Amino acid sequence: MKLKRKNVGAGILMILFTVLFFILTSKFFVVASSQSAEGVDLIEYGKRKWLKSDVLDAKRGTMFDRNGEVIAQDIPSYSVIAILDKNYPNHIKDPEEAAEQLSEVLKTDKGDLEALLSKEGRFQVEIPSGRKVSYRKKEQIEKLNIPGIDFLRESRRYYPNQTFAAHVLGYTGKGEDGVQTGLMGLEKSLDKYLQEKDGKVTFLGDAFSRAIPANKESITPPKHGKEVYLTLDEKVQLYLDEAIQEAAKKYEPEKITGIVADPKTGRILAMSNYPSFNPNQKEIDNYTNFAVSYPFEPGSTMKIFTLAAAIEEGVYNGNEAFQSGSYKLPNIGRPIYDHNRRGWGTITYDEGVQNSSNVAFSKLVREKLGYEKFRNYISKFGLDQKTNIDLPNEKNGSILYNYEIEKVTTAFGQGSTITPIQQIQAATAIANNGKMMQPYVIDKIMDPETKKTVVSNEPKIKGNPISEKTAKQVRDILETVVTDGTGKSYSIDGYSVAGKTGTAQIPGKDGKYISGWGENVFSFIGMAPKDDPKLLVYVAVERPKVEFPEMGSTPTANIFTSVMKSSLQYLNIQPEAKGMKSTEKAKKTYGKELPDYTGQSAEQAKTELEKLGMQVSILGSGDDVTKQEPYEGAYVMKGERVILKTSGDVKMPDIKDWSYMDILRISKLLGLKETITGSGFAVKQSIKPGNPVKEGDFLVVQLEPPKETEPEPEENNSEEESDGTAEEDSEENLEEDVTVTD
């Protein structure tokens, strides 16, 4: 009986297990066929559980200058986070101590930081002052060993030259979708080319996101932004930035703008404004690129184009005489005056140009050229239309030409408004033998992976407003403005400069012109060398703080001469005596033509150069010269520094008291990557004297002005004063006759 019960029990269990087996098996087949269980998609669940992914960072497109130097790029950065959750092993344990340590490194308020680190109910917080810090700053924080501090790796836009062409380059910020986006300048206008797109890698991984072996990764490669090559030249731009900053610091003007162009091609080599900003910091007071977006009354620089029109039409006779001082128009109450109301008596038209006589240009346009022809030339020179330069927010000026007084005053730069870039474009016709070139700043845009050119710009002739003969004659006359007229302070030793000064008045809120010493826009447009201009430079300074008798045009002249001379030397443009075509005369007047010392004894070369009054520095442990700066054939003045390099190991010299140009020379000779801050002469250097130095090393040099008191400004003669007084161009004397527009 017992055995029978046991068999029955075993049978029941067997049947039960068999039923359960069939239920489980059928469930397995149902799950396998439907790939779901209790409404959960098992495939998707598995993907979420085991499929891992990482972002492959893409880089925003890099910007380069015309020589391939980086001027805007993405670099790694780190944001500081603090983990507050006490259930997490590594969290902030002492908010007060952590805040004290971090506040010193991040330069932030300790109390605010402590309050942030003491918040309840948060897993982690991002420290505002710790956003996008550099790797060096990250290392400093890591050395503090603060529990609970971690970092998020990101990228940020970096501009290595700080304020370098800030209004041209612009800056970036986070867009609505969190992606880095251009918000100003070329960063904004070229955003569709510069914009990057992150990639992605997916793989099967364990709970710790470690890839499971023998599983293939799925990769969506990142799309990096395009590379943009500009026409800007890093060295020329730094010359312009430096000169403008120095003038701004000393004279505290309202505005400054400067442009350097290659008149043969229309390429813009430099463009700068004041006030400026550092796009790395984005503390911006002025968003306007004055060079392209600020039309104003040009003043006497406009006379260049009136003169060219008169010469082209064959109505200009430079030897013809006229009575200067004032000029009465029919039906106009007050006459037009020269800035020197008494005039210079009876003078020739050439002298009228040299003295910036408003009477001369009024008579030219009214009595000789004619209003209709002159208006046609305004259009031919492109002064009534945008240049269409490839920069955002270009504005057009306004040509006032309805009444006779407006037609006359436009001839000498009053009433009508034009932009600096319009003047640059028009002046290329003077410098380029009649061919007017369209200005541009984007050379090419390339795909960084395929190296294919996406966009390419070439020099474009915008028109031929004048003949080659006329252009040469205008340059000859404009040279006398610098040698004998109102532009004497713009002369440069060794180079012939052709140009024209301008002193425009500024309309006030009441419609009348602002008056007072220095209450003008002082400008100059010049080209050099005069016979074959390689550079065209425009500078305008608005309302500098100058005290009588210092001229309002002084800061403009300082900027122009500094930038033009440094740029010509950098481009290896050999000096030529003004008014002299003979190389022998140039040698006698402007110094010695440097021989080729390569292959010769360095000590013998040093002795020879020192006898000529040169400063000589020898670099290297060898005996014979292998390289030299300046180059063979360059003209050097007594007291200039000549650097000779020999073979063998090179040690860094003590460059204290070296000039900006000397530092550029040694950097070029040794192939160093220099960063120069300040102005004046070297006081600090990053590579210590005596340390070994090799090509590609970074050299940082700090300059400071000399300690001695600056000399008093020399007394100017009446001709020089004439372009710097508040009355220049007689605009203040016409305020009752001219309708002024904004």
Question: CATH number of the domain that 604 lies in?
Answer: 3.30.10.20
Confidence of residue 740 (pLDDT cuts 50, 70, 90): very low
Is residue 265 a part of any domain in this protein?
Answer: yes
Residues in the chain: 742
Is residue 87 a part of any domain in this protein?
Answer: yes
Specify the pLDDT at position 636: 67
Is residue 166 a part of any domain in this protein?
Answer: no
For strand 442-446 and strand 498-505, is the pairing parallel, antiparallel, or unpaired? unpaired
Residues 259 and 404 in one domain: yes
Is residue 692 a part of any domain in this protein?
Answer: yes
Is residue 209 a part of any domain in this protein?
Answer: no
Residues 337 and 322 in one domain: yes
Q: Which of 77, 276, 293, 300 is catalytic?
A: 300
Residues 435 and 537 in one domain: yes
Residues 275 and 135 in one domain: no
Residues 385 and 366 in one domain: yes
Residues 622 and 692 in one domain: yes
Residues 548 and 452 in one domain: yes
Confidence of residue 495 (pLDDT cuts 50, 70, 90): very high
Confidence of residue 715 (pLDDT cuts 50, 70, 90): very low
Domain count, the chain: 4
Specify the pLDDT at position 366: 95
Residues 346 and 414 in one domain: yes
pLDDT tens-digit map of 245-270: 999 999 999 999 999 999 999 999 99
Alpha carbon distance 258, 241 (integer Å): 9
Torsion of CA 159, 160, 164, 169, to 10 degrees: -30
- 45: domain range? 2-52
132 closest CA partner among 159, 109, 153, 163:
153
Alpha carbon distance 139, 332 (integer Å): 75
Q: How is 464-493 classified by DSSP, letter by letter?
A: --S-HHHHHHHHHHHHHHHHHSTTGGG-BT
* Final residue belonging to a domain, choices 158, 192, 212: 158
* Integer CA distances (angstroms), 663 to 64, 269, 270, 382, 652, in order: 23, 21, 21, 41, 12
Residues 58 and 144 in one domain: yes
Is residue 214 a part of any domain in this protein?
Answer: no
For strand 615-619 and strand 641-646, is the pairing parallel, antiparallel, or unpaired? parallel
pTM attached to this predicted model: 0.72
Residues 422 and 454 in one domain: yes
**CATH (domain of 344):** 3.40.710.10
Confidence of residue 28 (pLDDT cuts 50, 70, 90): low
Is residue 590 a part of any domain in this protein?
Answer: no
Using DSSP's 3-state secondary structure scheme, residue 300 falls into helix
Specify the pLDDT at position 79: 82
pLDDT tens-digit map of 49-102: 555 555 556 788 999 999 999 999 988 778 888 888 877 778 888 888 888 888
Residues 316 and 394 in one domain: yes
Residues 413 and 450 in one domain: yes
Active site residue 300: yes
Alpha carbon distance 401, 238 (integer Å): 40
* Final residue belonging to a domain, choices 104, 137, 158: 158
Is residue 614 a part of any domain in this protein?
Answer: yes
